[in-house]
Every structure is written in C-alpha cells, then in structure tokens.
Structure 1
C-alpha cells in the first residue's frame, strides 16, 4: 500500500513538473533557468501545496466506485466475470490533478512592469527624445512657451526607470526651454522615483546632437520620432523604436515602428 502511494505521488509530481514548465514559460518573460533560489523555492513550495491539495480534494466515493466496478458482475449465463477498470482511475486522476492546477493558473493580465521588460527584451539602457514622446509639445518653438508631460506615458516612463538606465534628450532653442522641461518633469514626479536624475536629461541645439548623444551612450534601445535619427543610429544600437503613424520604406530590420509609446506597450 505504501509503495503504491509513493508511486502515485511520483507520477503526479512528474505530471505537475511538465505542466508547470509550460505554464511558467507563458507567464514569465524570463526562463526558469534564470530564476533565483528564492523563486525556485517558492515554486517548489507551491508544487507541494498543490499536491497535498489534490490529495485532500480526492473524493472517497471515487475509490468506492472503483471497488464496485471491480466486483463480480453476473453475465447472461449466471457466471460471475470480473470487469477490468485499471485504466479508469489513471485517467480520472490525471483530470483531477490538472483541474486543481488550472485553478491556480487562471489567465492573469500581466503587469505593466512585466510588459515593459518583455517589450524591451530585457534591455538595460534606453535613450529617448522628449518632444512628441514624453511631452505634449512637438517642436522646440513650442517649448519656448511651455512644457507639458503627457500623463498617458508617465506610468510607462516610471516602469522603465525601475530596471533601465534611462536618458532623456531634446533639441532646444534657449536656456529657458531647458528650465521649462526640467520643471515639468519634476512636477510630474519623474525624479522622485529614484531611477532618473536631472543629469540624465540632456539638451542640444541640433538634431545631430541627439544622434551624437545616443552613439556615445550606446543604448540597447533608442526611442525617437525622427526617421533620420533612427536610421543613422540603426548601425550602432540593438533596437530603434520609431514613433510614427506609418513605417518608412527601407527601414533597418532592428527598427520597430509604432504610432505611440502607449501603443507599443499596449497600454491604451
């Protein structure tokens, strides 16, 4: 009896292992091999909890039904014959185990942090222009009047700063424009998250200056609205994100196009 229970438990653990490997590969962007010891311990503990939960949920009537089916049944000649149902309990146990596991793995919408990490392919350094991406304004001339942070990208920006070295950059026409931009970012709370400081907001007087900044920083990603800047940087960076209503022709393979930062991350 003890050997039978051990074998039954072993088979369940094997099925659970295969099932979890598939589930976790879909839920988490990182592979199981990259999990730390604490995460692996949590998964192991969860697996044990599921196994014992399954054991507790097993109905005693199931074994009774199995015994009844194994009992002798008379045939037309009055001779008792024994019905074989060896395969039935195994199938029933498989379904019961999977149903218990499914209850713990109902589809869950990923968090914004998980989406950002997955979309950026675990990139560790990002450079991004301000106009038309982080700010409502689209030209340096508008910045001479005001600077307004787009509320729809604020959460995305804060998530990026949690695990990426983020640099913001823009072309401005005067020192007053710089002050307006920094004040707008400060009022939006971007500097209070700890991931971005004012020294990482860079200003230049030409579009080529933004290209030069990005080349020196060697980011994994550069985000821009100017196709020419993205094209010049494509040879020097891993990925370029061009925010444009349409994808220009002859774009490099490592350049991704999206109408907006929110749509790229699916956060609208």
Structure 2
C-alpha cells in the first residue's frame, strides 16, 4: 500500500515536471531577456526542491530484496509454511527502514548549527560595546585584597571568555588593593596568562583603587553597558545607573532589579563550561 502511494506520487511529480518543462520552453522561446534574476532564482529553487523530494521518495530496492531473502530463509528453516506472514513482516520492516532513512535525511539536512563562543558572548551581552569588571572572584582565584598581597592567580577557566569579550568590547578591569605590590602582582599575573597579547586589553585599562566606593566611581565615570561584580552592595548601588549588571555569586540571590543577572561564575554565565 505504501509502495503504491509512493509510486503514484513519483508519477505525479514526473508529470508535473514534464508540464513545467513545456511551460519553461515556451517562456524561453518567447523572450529570455524578459526574465529577471528573481524568476531564474525561483525556477532553480523549485528544481532543487523537486530533486530533494525525489531522493527522499526513491525506494532502495537492494535492501528490500535482502530483507525478503532473509525472511524466506528463516521461514524455511523453522518449517513454517505461512508465506503471507513472511511477506507482511518483510514489508513492515522495509517500510520502517524507509521511514527511518527519510527521517534521518531530514534531521541531518535541518540540523541547527551550534553557535560559537564569540556569538554566545555577543548575544548574552546584548551587543554591548563597553564592559567593566572587577578582578577578585571573577578573573582572579583570590577573593580578598589581603590575599593579593601574597599572590595573584588568573583563573584558567575564564580566559577563553575573557579574550572573546576583548575582541569586540572595550573592557576595563578594576580592583581594590592595599598596596603597590598588589598592583604589580595583578599585572604580572594577567600578562603571564596572555591577556594583553590579544590586543583587546592593555595595562592602562586595569584600574586600581583603595575603597569599594572608588570602584563604583570608576564604573559610573566609564558608563559601561555592562558591569560585572561580586559585591552585592556595589551591584545594588549601580543598578539605576548601569544598563546591565552581572552579579557573580555562588549563591543565587533574589533578583533586586530587572537589569541585574546572577551566575556562579563569568564562564558559566556564557555557558562555556
């Protein structure tokens, strides 16, 4: 039944193709110059659609014969005389195989293209062109200015996202420090990690201050599209001045404003891990 329906549809496509061939030949014989690029594009697109439909509906004769032979051999070895059941089973298996094959072709043809990390970053940042970000707890492993007096370590998991941001955003990094040695340790850690080699971020865009309010002042002066911070008080203070903010915190807080988002880390916000 399924085979008859497919044959009828194939014959219909052939007749329709012959009809179109006559029509197109008449059109071309009248005046080829009167057809514009859109008409030719429509004809080409229709031809591709017909070919694709034909390939989907084409019945694989080889596998069907092999399936029938295997079913017949199985029936004869078991001593069952029912040829009707064998034919019905073979037809059902073949039909299922054809349906799966057609579905696989369609799924492969329409399989969505996975976006790149750069595309995800641009989408998440809503095409924002300027970003400010604190260092402690976001870019660096350390979480307090006291720890920076001993060492500064760049989180390896955040590097890929950070470099993607610098490709199309004007990025400023900032942090509260207790002494000049802490500043040097931070710059050395960033340089060693290769943050400055991409060309999107320079040392002059790494800002230091002595208070949390000083960081808030930096952000307000720079007027970024996004600010990334771990301090809930700073995030709350800047909510009415900055278009978007990302609050990096291990504990998901209650959303205080519609323009404030939260995530356990910068890289998780962009889905890179």
TM-score range, shorter chain: 0.5 to 0.7
Structure 2: gaps of 5 or more residues:
1-16, 25-40, 59-101
- SS across alignment from 1:142: helix
Partner of 2:51: 55
Contact 1:227-1:248 within 8 A present in 2 as well: no
Contact 2:247-2:263 within 8 A present in 1 as well: yes
1:67-113 deviation line (CA, Å, top 9, x unaligned):
xxxxxxxxxxxxxxxxxxxxxxxxxxxxxx99877534313332111
Measured in 2, the distance between the counterparts of 1:6 and 1:213 equals 73
> Structure 1 pair 128/52, CA: closer, same or farther in 2 (3 Å)?
same
Contact 2:174-2:206 within 8 A present in 1 as well: yes
Partner of 1:180: 185
- SS across alignment from 1:127: strand
Measured in 1, the distance between the counterparts of 2:47 and 2:232 equals 55
1:150-187 deviation line (CA, Å, top 9, x unaligned):
00000000000011111000001111111110010001
> Structure 1 pair 7/216, CA: closer, same or farther in 2 (3 Å)?
farther
Question: What's the CA shift for 1:5?
Answer: 5.1
Partner of 1:254: 259
Partner of 2:70: none
Contact 2:247-2:262 within 8 A present in 1 as well: yes
> Structure 1 pair 181/52, CA: closer, same or farther in 2 (3 Å)?
same
- Count, aligned residues: 197
- SS across alignment from 2:136: coil
**Is structure 2 residue 170 aligned with structure 1 residue 162?**
no
Contact 2:255-2:261 within 8 A present in 1 as well: no
**Is structure 2 residue 142 aligned with structure 1 residue 126?**
no
Measured in 2, the distance between the counterparts of 1:136 and 1:159 equals 20
Measured in 2, the distance between the counterparts of 1:6 and 1:232 equals 74
> Structure 1 pair 98/124, CA: closer, same or farther in 2 (3 Å)?
farther
- SS across alignment from 2:261: strand
RMSD (CA atoms): 3.2
> Structure 1 pair 243/55, CA: closer, same or farther in 2 (3 Å)?
same
- SS across alignment from 1:192: coil
Of structures 1 and 2, the larger Rg is shown by 2
Partner of 1:263: 268
Measured in 1, the distance between the counterparts of 2:229 and 2:248 equals 6
- SS across alignment from 1:109: coil
**Is structure 2 residue 144 aligned with structure 1 residue 142?**
no
**Is structure 2 residue 218 aligned with structure 1 residue 213?**
yes
Measured in 2, the distance between the counterparts of 1:233 and 1:174 equals 26
Contact 1:50-1:101 within 8 A present in 2 as well: no
Partner of 1:222: 227
Measured in 2, the distance between the counterparts of 1:227 and 1:246 equals 11
